[in-house]
């Protein structure tokens, strides 16, 4: 690559970086970004860096030991195992790089880069150089970030150089190998090697290594004896013997060479370890530059796909992570007339996995009822398993209720891109909002009720258990909790949907991956805001329930008091929900995404 071309490409990269930094700094003039940046910075200072540098945490509690290079911090007997495990982890990452690509991989260029650089008089080798240079910018930033987060103590104790170089070597090694693997796979595909054959070859190689290693362990070593599993130290020693011998030793050697400077115990060993690591990087660089493979077509397709995803996000479409678009049978027959809210339920269920339907729920419920009865009759050991399942089911129900609404986004948030069309429908706003909430409510309620059923069937309390855990009362709890679940889920879903309508520009930015410390702070504000609002909304209901059970249990007995409290709590939550729907519906009627997104 001649120097003029290199200068032009460097100019492009440096100017883009400078403008990116400037635009991020300039947007801090807007309060929402400034507040986000302050919150993000506070999070990093107190939570991430605080832990890494030994600050924060409970008073008097020992600071968490940060992940540091061996030099001065890591015990000498731990360093070899950490080195071997790190090398093994890198090996796994590299195997995935060879196995995962299902289509012809290309080097990742932006749409603008493909438009300007591909037709320009630049050789393919120059383009690869450009990508290598571009990657170095992010590698350097990542090295700094990882050093700060994982090796803060190493940085402030005179090992900054070793830490930074150590991370740079590892990340550059991974990056170079990724480019080399992508180009090699592209060339293999050009030569007619199918994805299946490539995967079979790689996985076959892995299987061979596994078989040889097992055979070697079998012949020369021994399976872990009870003494090896007695504690962390003996097990670590046994594991190191496996990772450091036989075929695995040779397979992990290049990875250990790259990791060696990071784990070096001082400046001398570090400088000695640096030579082989740099030689290895040189070899990878030579491999990448010698690779004659056409990547342009695949790069164009990738750039186009990324641009489409970005445009969809900007338009308010957040359907990522959902089922791939595929025509399928509707979840239920939709009559021509009736409540229009169910049309939204029908539509949104069509965009999920096919197994989210009533039939799956019924099969699951039947399996739980009959399976738990079978296990209960088999004996004490199986009853123990059943109790364990019961505990797991209760945890699942709790997690689904708490975090499900954050994950399930088959509601108004996923339909913001179609807001113009939704608003032309002859429906008041609250009906549209309610209809949009029904699918995630139905799915999460289905999961929670199945978990409750399992917990109900699984627990067999002892005879000495409290009267409050009598079988009929447990059944009452389960039924009451199941009755509250749809309203609780809907109430939680209202908050992020309201955020999407009331702060659309902010919400859009927050949903966009990456974006800097200010956006990270904004995401934190959203999460904590949601938790705060939900707690605030549930306090009246929880206080009412506690008071009612406390007072009425003496008059009408525990079971009726729980049912009575549930009915009252349900009324409180439905009332809150109704107010929320009414208010959010009005906001939706006045909602104008294009106005919100005006610069």
Partner 1 sequence: MIEVTGLTKRYGDFTAVRDLSFTVRPGEVLGLVGPNGAGKTTTLRSVAGIIPPNAGTVRIAGHDLATDPVAAKRALAFFPDEPRLFEYLTVRQHLAFVARIYGVADHAAIAQPLLDELEIADKADELPGALSRGMKQKLAIACGLLHGPSVMFFDEPLTGLDPLGIRRMKDSILKRARAGATIVLSSHLLHLLEEVCSHVLILKQGEKIADGTLAEVAARFSEGAPDVSLEDVFIRATGGSEK
- Residues near partner 1, by CB under 8 A: 317, 319, 323, 325-327, 330, 334-338, 340, 342-343, 346-347, 350-351, 417-418, 420-421, 423-428, 589-590, 592, 594-595, 598
Nearer Cβ to partner 1 (111/589): 589
- Provide the minimum distance between the beta carbon of 434 and partner 1 in the complex, in angstroms, as a whole number: 13
At residue 593, φ and ψ (nearest 5 deg) are -60, -40
Distance CA 416, CA 318 (A): 8
- Provide the minimum distance between the beta carbon of 104 and partner 1 in the complex, in angstroms, as a whole number: 21
Supply 241's token pair: 């013997």
- Provide the minimum distance between the beta carbon of 240 and partner 1 in the complex, in angstroms, as a whole number: 51
Nearer Cβ to partner 1 (228/596): 596
Nearer Cβ to partner 1 (422/548): 422
- Provide the minimum distance between the beta carbon of 316 and partner 1 in the complex, in angstroms, as a whole number: 11
Distance CA 96, CA 98 (A): 5
- Provide the minimum distance between the beta carbon of 309 and partner 1 in the complex, in angstroms, as a whole number: 13
Distance CA 10, CA 467 (A): 76
- CB contact at 8 A, 433 and 480: no
Dihedral, CA atoms, 248, 251, 254, 258, nearest 10 degrees? Answer: -50
Nearer Cβ to partner 1 (67/342): 342
Nearer Cβ to partner 1 (342/582): 342
DSSP string, 333-383: ---SSS-THHHHHHHHHHTS-TT-SHHHHHHHHHHHHHHHHHHHHH-HHHH
Distance CA 42, CA 344 (A): 41
- Provide the minimum distance between the beta carbon of 408 and partner 1 in the complex, in angstroms, as a whole number: 15
- Provide the minimum distance between the beta carbon of 334 and partner 1 in the complex, in angstroms, as a whole number: 5
- Provide the minimum distance between the beta carbon of 502 and partner 1 in the complex, in angstroms, as a whole number: 15
Nearer Cβ to partner 1 (256/347): 347
Nearer Cβ to partner 1 (40/429): 429
Distance CA 487, CA 481 (A): 10
- Provide the minimum distance between the beta carbon of 406 and partner 1 in the complex, in angstroms, as a whole number: 22
Distance of CA 337 to the CA centre of its chain: 41
Helix axes 246-263, 160-190, angle to 10 degrees: 130
Nearer Cβ to partner 1 (517/597): 597
Nearer Cβ to partner 1 (338/513): 338
- Provide the minimum distance between the beta carbon of 339 and partner 1 in the complex, in angstroms, as a whole number: 9
Q: Both ends of the chain: CA-CA distance in Å?
A: 40
Say whether 543 sits in a helix, a strand or coil. Answer: helix
Nearer Cβ to partner 1 (174/597): 597
Distance CA 576, CA 440 (A): 19
At residue 578, φ and ψ (nearest 5 deg) are -60, -45
Nearer Cβ to partner 1 (443/456): 443
- Provide the minimum distance between the beta carbon of 95 and partner 1 in the complex, in angstroms, as a whole number: 33
Nearer Cβ to partner 1 (20/334): 334
- Provide the minimum distance between the beta carbon of 325 and partner 1 in the complex, in angstroms, as a whole number: 5
Residue 416 exposed, middle or buried by CB count within 10 Å (0-12, 13-18, 19+): buried
- CB contact at 8 A, 558 and 386: no
Residue 447 exposed, middle or buried by CB count within 10 Å (0-12, 13-18, 19+): buried
Supply 478's token pair: 């389960």
Nearer Cβ to partner 1 (83/427): 427
Positive or negative CA dihedral for 474, 475, 477, 481?
A: positive
- Provide the minimum distance between the beta carbon of 438 and partner 1 in the complex, in angstroms, as a whole number: 13
User: DSSP secondary-structure letter at 120?
Assistant: S
Nearer Cβ to partner 1 (99/505): 505
Supply 576's token pair: 């809150």
**What share of residues in the chain are helix, strand, coil (percent, to 5)?**
80, 0, 20
Instruction: Return the residue matching tokens 């399942």.
Output: 389
Computed on alpha carbons and rounded to an integer, the radius of gyration of the chain in Å comes to 29
Nearer Cβ to partner 1 (197/339): 339
- Provide the minimum distance between the beta carbon of 46 and partner 1 in the complex, in angstroms, as a whole number: 37
Distance CA 204, CA 553 (A): 67
- Provide the minimum distance between the beta carbon of 340 and partner 1 in the complex, in angstroms, as a whole number: 5
Beta-carbon contacts of 335 under 8 Å, excluding residues fewer than 6 positions away, are: none
Helix axes 124-150, 267-290, angle to 10 degrees: 150
Beta-carbon contacts of 257 under 8 Å, excluding residues fewer than 6 positions away, are: 273, 276, 277, 280
């Amino acid at each position: 690559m001649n120097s003029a071309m290199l200068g032009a490409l460097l100019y492009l990269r440096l100017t883009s970086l400078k403008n990116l930094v400037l635009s991020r700094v300039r947007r801090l003039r807007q309060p929402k970004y400034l507040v986000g940046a302050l919150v993000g910075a506070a999070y990093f200072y107190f939570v991430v860096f605080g832990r890494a540098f030994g600050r924060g945490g409970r008073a008097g509690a020992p600071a968490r030991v940060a992940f540091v290079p061996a030099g001065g911090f890591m015990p000498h007997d731990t360093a070899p195992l950490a080195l071997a495990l790190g090398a093994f982890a890198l090996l796994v990452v590299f195997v995935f790089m060879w196995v995962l690509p299902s289509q012809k991989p290309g080097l990742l260029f932006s749409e603008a880069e493909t438009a300007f650089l591909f037709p320009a008089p630049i050789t393919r080798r120059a383009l690869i150089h450009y990508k290598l240079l571009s990657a170095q910018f992010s590698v350097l930033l990542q090295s700094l970030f990882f050093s700060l987060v994982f090796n803060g103590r190493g940085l402030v104790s005179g090992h900054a150089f070793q830490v930074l170089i150590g991370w740079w070597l590892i990340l550059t090694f991974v990056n170079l190998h990724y480019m080399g693997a992508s180009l090699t796979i592209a060339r293999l595909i050009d030569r007619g090697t199918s994805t299946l054959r490539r995967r079979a070859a790689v996985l076959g190689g892995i299987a061979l290594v596994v078989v040889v290693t097992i055979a070697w362990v079998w012949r020369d070593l021994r399976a872990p004896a009870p003494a090896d599993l007695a504690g962390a130290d003996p097990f670590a020693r046994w594991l190191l013997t496996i990772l450091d011998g036989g075929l695995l030793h040779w397979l992990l050697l290049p990875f250990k060479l790259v990791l060696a400077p990071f784990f070096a115990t001082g400046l001398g060993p570090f400088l000695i370890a640096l030579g082989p690591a740099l030689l290895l990087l040189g070899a990878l660089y030579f491999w990448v530059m010698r690779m004659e493979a056409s990547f342009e077509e695949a790069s164009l397709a990738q750039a186009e796909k990324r641009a489409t995803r970005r445009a969809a996000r900007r338009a308010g479409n957040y359907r990522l992570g959902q089922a791939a678009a595929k025509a399928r049978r509707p979840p239920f027959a939709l009559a021509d007339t009736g409540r229009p809210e169910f049309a939204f339920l029908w539509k949104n269920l069509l965009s999920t996995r096919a197994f989210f339907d009533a039939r799956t729920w019924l099969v699951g419920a039947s399996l739980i009822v009959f399976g738990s009865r079978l296990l209960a009759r088999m004996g004490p050991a199986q009853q123990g398993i059943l109790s364990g399942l019961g505990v797991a089911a209760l945890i699942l129900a709790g997690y689904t209720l708490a975090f499900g609404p954050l994950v399930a986004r088959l509601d108004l948030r996923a339909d913001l891109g179609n807001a113009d069309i939704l608003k032309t429908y002859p429906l008041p706003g609250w009906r549209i909002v309610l209809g949009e909430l029904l699918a995630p409510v139905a799915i999460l309620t289905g999961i929670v009720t199945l978990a409750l059923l399992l917990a109900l069937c699984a627990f067999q309390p002892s005879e000495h258990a409290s009267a409050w855990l009598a079988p009929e009362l447990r059944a009452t709890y389960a039924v009451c909790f199941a009755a509250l679940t749809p309203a609780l889920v809907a109430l939680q879903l209202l908050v992020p949907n309201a955020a999407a309508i009331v702060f659309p520009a902010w919400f859009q930015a927050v949903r966009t991956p990456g974006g800097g410390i200010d956006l990270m702070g904004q995401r934190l504000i959203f999460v904590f805001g949601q938790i705060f609002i939900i707690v605030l909304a549930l306090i009246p209901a929880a206080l009412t329930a506690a008071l009612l059970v406390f007072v009425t249990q003496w008059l009408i007995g525990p079971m009726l008091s729980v049912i009575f409290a549930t009915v009252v709590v349900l009324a409180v939550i439905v009332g809150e929900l109704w107010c929320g729907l009414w208010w959010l519906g009005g906001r939706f009627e006045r909602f104008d995404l294009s106005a919100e997104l005006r610069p």
